[in-house]
């Protein structure tokens, strides 16, 4: 009986040993498979052979300290940061933190390089366009500045000529009176206005609003004639300029007409008989009985010579 009991105990112990060996072999096979998977992953993802990976990054190699990137930066003298021994728990924490940061980055866009190249090319194109616009703007500002200078110079010259001519013509139309052209803002020749001061003989007022209708018409005619004399033109068109003038003032204005006609052609619309008498040709417009306008012309100079 004792032998049988001993035999049963030994059989049970044998079964336990066989089961333990089987578990160990299974675990060793799983570990070997895990190692092979890790080796294949290292080669696939990192491009490093297991021997190189263990030699450079094995658990016996020191690692950088587990500190934020800014703190782990090299020292100011250029020497690398001091490394510490490998501790698996700390490195696992770093791994999990790195994995979380990697997951936050999202999936990798395989077309990122192409998109970057396209955006870089467009950015280059837009940058060149912006620079071209800036150059064009500078050129336009230079042109505007040149035009402003030229306009200011031309206006100043014309202003001086018209001012002198107005004073002379005013004295002829208003013997004994004074007329003057003034600038509202002499410091800004491009934005200034022009004021007319007129004092007929025997009066103290200078504002045009206080003058009579005939005097205002004569002042306006003086200003027009001053423009004609300062900047002559091949012809002038005057529409009933002398309608409100009396005979005396009309005679003075006709004298100036005679001076202007020496170098220019005057087209005068008038109802004044004396103005018609000094013309070379007359053109009359009347309405016929059927309601249609008719034009009648007559050359006075030729008729007088005949």
> Looking at the structure, do residues 194 and 249 belong to the same domain, yes or no?
no
Helix, strand, or coil (residue 26): helix
> Looking at the structure, do residues 253 and 191 belong to the same domain, yes or no?
no
Given 204, 231, 258, the domain boundary residue is 231
Examine residue 186 and state whether it is found in any structural domain, yes or no: yes
> Looking at the structure, do residues 120 and 174 belong to the same domain, yes or no?
yes
> CA-based diameter of the chain, in Å?
179
Examine residue 241 and state whether it is found in any structural domain, yes or no: yes
> Looking at the structure, do residues 221 and 122 belong to the same domain, yes or no?
yes
Q: Which residues span the domain enclosing 291?
A: 233-306
Strand partners, 293: 287
- Residues of the chain falling short of pLDDT 50: 71-73, 303, 306
> Looking at the structure, do residues 184 and 273 belong to the same domain, yes or no?
no
pLDDT digits (tens, 9 = 90+) for 252-284: 889 888 888 888 898 999 888 888 888 888 888
Among 33, 11, 31, 34, CA closest to 23: 31
- pLDDT (0 to 100) of residue 135: 95
Report the distance separating Cα 272 and Cα 245, nearest Å: 10
CA 25 to chain centre: 79
CA 246 to chain centre: 58
- pLDDT (0 to 100) of residue 108: 77
Report the distance separating Cα 157 and Cα 99, nearest Å: 81
Contact at 8 Å (CB) between 161 and 230? yes
> Looking at the structure, do residues 122 and 223 belong to the same domain, yes or no?
yes
> Looking at the structure, do residues 253 and 239 belong to the same domain, yes or no?
yes
Q: What is the chain's length?
A: 306
> Looking at the structure, do residues 224 and 120 belong to the same domain, yes or no?
yes
Helices (H), the chain: 2-41, 50-57, 88-105, 112-173, 213-230, 247-260, 273-277, 300-305
Report the distance separating Cα 109 and Cα 62, nearest Å: 34
> Looking at the structure, do residues 224 and 263 belong to the same domain, yes or no?
no
- pLDDT (0 to 100) of residue 79: 58
Cβ neighbours around 188 below 10 Å, total:
11
Examine residue 216 and state whether it is found in any structural domain, yes or no: yes
- pLDDT (0 to 100) of residue 119: 94
Examine residue 102 and state whether it is found in any structural domain, yes or no: no
Given 200, 215, 231, the domain boundary residue is 231
Examine residue 167 and state whether it is found in any structural domain, yes or no: yes
Report the distance separating Cα 160 and Cα 107, nearest Å: 78
> Looking at the structure, do residues 250 and 300 belong to the same domain, yes or no?
yes
63 DSSP 8-state letter: B
- pLDDT (0 to 100) of residue 106: 79
Strand partners, 97: none
CA 108 to chain centre: 40
Given 231, 257, 278, the domain boundary residue is 231
pLDDT digits (tens, 9 = 90+) for 122-176: 999 999 999 999 999 999 999 999 999 999 999 999 999 999 999 999 888 888 8
Examine residue 171 and state whether it is found in any structural domain, yes or no: yes
- pLDDT (0 to 100) of residue 306: 45
Number of domains in the chain: 2
What is the domain-level CATH number for residue 306? 3.40.50.300
Report the distance separating Cα 129 and Cα 164, nearest Å: 52
Among 243, 271, 275, CA closest to 256: 275
> Looking at the structure, do residues 222 and 128 belong to the same domain, yes or no?
yes
Examine residue 130 and state whether it is found in any structural domain, yes or no: yes
> Looking at the structure, do residues 138 and 198 belong to the same domain, yes or no?
yes
């Amino acid at each position: 009986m004792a032998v049988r009991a001993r035999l049963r105990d030994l059989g049970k112990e044998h079964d336990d040993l066989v089961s333990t060996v089987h578990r160990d072999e299974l675990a060793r096979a799983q570990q070997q498979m895990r190692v092979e998977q890790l080796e294949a992953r290292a080669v696939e993802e990192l491009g490093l052979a297991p021997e190189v990976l263990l030699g450079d990054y094995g658990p016996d190699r020191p690692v950088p300290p587990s500190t934020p990137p800014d703190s782990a930066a090299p020292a100011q003298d250029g020497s690398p940061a001091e490394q510490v021994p490998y501790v698996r728990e700390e490195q696992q924490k770093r791994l999990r933190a790195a994995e979380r940061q990697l997951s936050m980055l999202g999936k990798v866009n395989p077309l990122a390089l192409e998109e970057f190249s396209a955006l870089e090319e467009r950015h280059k194109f837009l940058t060149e366009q912006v620079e071209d616009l800036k150059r064009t703007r500078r050129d336009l500002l230079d042109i505007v500045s040149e035009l402003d200078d030229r306009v200011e110079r031309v206006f100043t010259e014309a202003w001086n000529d018209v001012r002198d001519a107005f004073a002379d013509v005013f004295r002829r139309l208003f013997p004994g009176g004074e007329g003057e052209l003034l600038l509202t803002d002499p410091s800004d020749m491009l934005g200034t206005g022009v004021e007319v001061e007129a004092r007929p003989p025997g009066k103290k007022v200078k504002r045009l609003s206080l003058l009579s209708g005939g005097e205002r018409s004569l002042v306006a005619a003086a200003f027009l004639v001053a423009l004609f004399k300062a900047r002559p033109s091949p012809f002038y068109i005057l529409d009933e300029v002398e309608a409100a003038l009396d005979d005396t003032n009309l005679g003075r204005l006709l004298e100036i007409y005679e001076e202007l006609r020496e170098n220019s052609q005057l087209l005068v619309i008038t109802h004044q008989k004396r103005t018609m008498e000094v013309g070379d040709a007359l053109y009359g417009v009347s309405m016929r009985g059927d309601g249609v306008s008719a034009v009648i012309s007559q050359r006075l100079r030729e008729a007088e010579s005949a």
